[in-house]
Amino acid sequence: MRKAADMAEEASNSRTFAVVARAGYVVSGLLHILIGAIALQLAVGRGGEADVSGAVASLASQPAGPFLLWACFAACAALALWQLGNAILGQRTGSNKLGKRLSAVGQAMVFAALAATIISFVVGKGQNSRESSSDVTVTLMKAPFGMFLLIAVGAGIAITGIVFAVRGFRQTFTKDLSLSSARTVRKFQVGVGVVGYIAKGIALFLVGLLVVIATVRAQPEQSTGLDGSLKALREQPYGPYLLAAVALGLIAYGLFLMVKARTLRT
């Protein structure tokens, strides 16, 4: 553990590595903007896959697609390692609270998964996340205590969504940022954060809710990830308007992540 901590500390002190790692937030922000744009298309009756896989596929289809995917993979992998280093250093020095260390572990896992998704498209093995979510649900349902595990996972995702929304309403995310002294810029930083966190929270809550419903009804095909959740929202009363609002919120969250890349306190 000490050797790993020393390596993490050396990496975290590298300015180049820190810049590349922060670019991981830019990549995540870009993907959220693309997801929001696809969700807007869904709201007006057009097709698309409004999730990470759909956003990565959209990047891959660009003229410089392979270069973009490699750059995005490098940034997300660097950010995953950076966050893992934060967690290890926190354990070693005791300078960080337990909650922050756990948050760093969670973010490391999220960006490692994002890097894995991107690299799967690079090597030509990208998978439709809607089908992937259903397949995972089917597999877990067949496992011992699988239903209880799925319900716990779904509830955890839904609770995470609530936490996101609460952070947005209470603006607690501002503690992690170096806000601008310019009033207009500061209002933009906080505004996209509030709207983005609330929209992201709603999206996560819907994903978790569908996982729980699919498990309780023993209908794994209903566990369709973010894309399925947004499409299910579209079918509700005033659904297209609600979906458009969430889509704009996801775009705002993407902008917030780009702001975070520049203003994150270290």
Do the domain assignments include residue 192?
Answer: yes
Domain boundary among 99, 127, 155: 127
Please tell me the predicted confidence (pLDDT) of residue 140: 60
Do 73 and 139 lie in one domain? The reply is: no
pLDDT value at 94 more than 50: no
Do 31 and 96 lie in one domain? The reply is: yes
Do the domain assignments include residue 11?
Answer: yes
Do 240 and 150 lie in one domain? The reply is: yes
Domain that holds residue 143: 129-252
Domain boundary among 81, 110, 127: 127
Look at residues 82, 42, 55, 60 and name the one whose alpha carbon lies nearest to residue 231: 42
Domain boundary among 109, 127, 145: 127
Cα–Cα distance measured from residue 136 to residue 155, given in angstroms and rounded to the nearest whole number: 16
Do the domain assignments include residue 10?
Answer: yes
Do the domain assignments include residue 212?
Answer: yes
Do 64 and 163 lie in one domain? The reply is: no
Question: 70 is written with which tokens?
Answer: 């490699």
Q: Sorting pLDDT into bands at 50, 70 and 90, what band is 146?
A: low
Please tell me the predicted confidence (pLDDT) of residue 92: 46
**pLDDT (tens digit per residue) in 193-235:** 999 999 999 999 988 888 788 777 666 555 567 777 888 888 8
Counting the structural domains of the chain, the total is 2
Say which residues have a Cβ less than 8 Å from residue 90's Cβ, sequence separation at least 6.
96, 97, 100, 101, 104
Do the domain assignments include residue 260?
Answer: no
Do 190 and 244 lie in one domain? The reply is: yes
pLDDT value at 14 more than 80: no
Do 67 and 155 lie in one domain? The reply is: no
Say which residues have a Cβ less than 8 Å from residue 26's Cβ, sequence separation at least 6.
75, 257, 258, 261
Do 36 and 153 lie in one domain? The reply is: no
